[in-house]
Each structure stands twice: as structure tokens, then as C-alpha cells.
Structure 1
Amino acid sequence: MDHLYSLAKQLGDVLADAQLTITTAESCTGGGIAYCLTDVAGSSQWFHQAFVTYSNDAKQRLVKVPDMALEQYGAVSEPVVMAMAEGARERANADVAIAVSGVAGPSGGSEEKPVGTVWFAWAWREDETETEVCHFDGHRRQVREQTIAHALGHVLNRLQ
């Protein structure tokens, strides 16, 4: 977890210097990204709130994911993480939002979405949303930690 703290600290320094705020909408990480960010002293300067949207109902209520997206594509999909990121950014009035939804395992995977499949979305204040799907190896904790590292690393790379 030291590498995750280091990544969160670097990102926090960049956010603070740029006077930007960040929020998260998390499913498969269960708040792990928010935990890493708020583990950094002074994070209240650039992190105000997060959304743990583990269930479909929470995704709909908290970050405005449309029923149709969940029904048509499932929770682990590009349309759903895009809606999660955009809804979280808007609800938190943040400059950037990270959203993740995936299959951390050990069960729950399918042929189409095997264990280790994670969809990411990053919504930026400029009304730009980026998405990516990754396939991570390892057990549940490893998939979740790789997800956190990738989510934070993408924002850090974009802002540097």
C-alpha cells in the first residue's frame, strides 16, 4: 500500500498546486480510491466527497446512472462508468472525477467480462470524459490495488 500512498501524495500535490478538486464514484474498489486520497494529510484542500456506488440502485440514486445503461450494458461497462464519472463530478462540483466498475473476483466473472475486468472513466471540468477497460491478473485484493493505482496514475499523468 506504500506505493498507493506515494501515488496519492504526488497527485494531491499536483491538485493542490493547480487548485483543482477531485471526487470518486467507486464500485469494485469499495471506496479504496477515496481512502488512498484521504490518507494524505491536507487532502481536504482538494478532496471534498466521494460516492461508493456498489449496487446498481446506488449508482442510479447517487450519481444518476440511467436505468437503461445498466439494463442494456450491465454495471461493468463503458456507458455506466461514463455516467458514474459525469454524475459524480457534477454532484460533487469537482474539477475531475474518477469512476471504476469491475469484477474483482473471485467469482462474478463471465466469458464476456472475466474476473479482473475493470472499466474506468475520468470526467474533466471541460466536459471531456475519457474511458478505458483493463484486464488485471491476481486475486481480489490485487485486482483492486491495480485498479486504484491505474485510476490515480491516469489523473497524475494527465495533470503533469
Structure 2
Amino acid sequence: MLSTGVWHIEHREPVLLLYGKVCVRWAALDLLLVQILSVALCNSPAARDLIFNGSSFGKNRLDAVNRAIGASRFTEEERSALLALTKKTADLLSARNDIVHAPLVISLSVNGDKIASKLTRISRQGKEHELSIEKIEAHINAIGSVLSDLELLAQDLDLKYDPVDPDDL
């Protein structure tokens, strides 16, 4: 029996901090997608509904975004840039799921007088795969790069298609 009060991963603060970064960055992605779809659809409530209610998980959400972008008023160049970024995001999705959803275990090994620990995740097939701090950090950096590019594009689209009316200021 396992008690969450003594669950070994909870006592690994660096791992928890990295998990938090993964979750925060993927949540930021959802907000950027809402922002972009609000401009694409000319309808903020529909964009929010599509992201937060219409698509229950990552792949479906990205497919819905791609369909909306493909049918949008954006130029071919803008659509291509957005679709390239959603492709990068889709490529990161399985790593995100491995980090966030896979059960983790810490394996201990003894080599002479030294004890070493190894962080592993358990796949759906029951296989153990090493999950290093470096791999999690690399994922954080990869999704951060996509977010930066997406944010710049979202700002450009906002300014182009939904300019600020001076009377609103």
C-alpha cells in the first residue's frame, strides 16, 4: 500500500518545481490559442469555448485550432506560420503527457559503497523509462520557445486584425 503522505516524489522539490513549470507553460499555451482564435473567428466567447470546453485533450484541441486557422481570414503566410507552431506543439504533446501523467518511481541501486537513485516513469504498457531532470528541463525550454514564437505572432495578428480604436482609450 502506498501513502501519499510519504510518497517519495513529493519529497523531491526540484521535480515538483519542474512539473509546475510544465503545467504553467501548457496552460499559457491555451491562453495564447484563445487569443489567436478570438482574432481568427472574430468571436472571443467562441474561441474560449473551443479551447476550454470543446476539446477535452491536447491532440483534439490542436486539431480544432488547426481547422479554425485553416478556415480563418489570415493570409497564407500567417496560416503557415501558425500551423508550423501547432505542429511543433503537437510534437511536444507526448513528452508533456509522459511528464505530467505517467506514474513516477525512484529506483535505488547500490554500487559498492554508493547508493544512486534514478527517476523513471511507468508507461501505459508497464515499461519503465528513465525520466531525467535534464529531459524535463529540455521539454520546458522547447515549449517555452514555441510560446515565445506564438506570443509574437499573436501580438502581430491582434494589431493587424483587431487594431485599437483611439476612441476606446
| TM-score, normalised via structure 1 length | 0.31
Considering fraction of residues, name the structure with more strand: 1
| TM-score, normalised via structure 2 length | 0.30
Considering fraction of residues, name the structure with more helix: 2
Larger Rg: 2
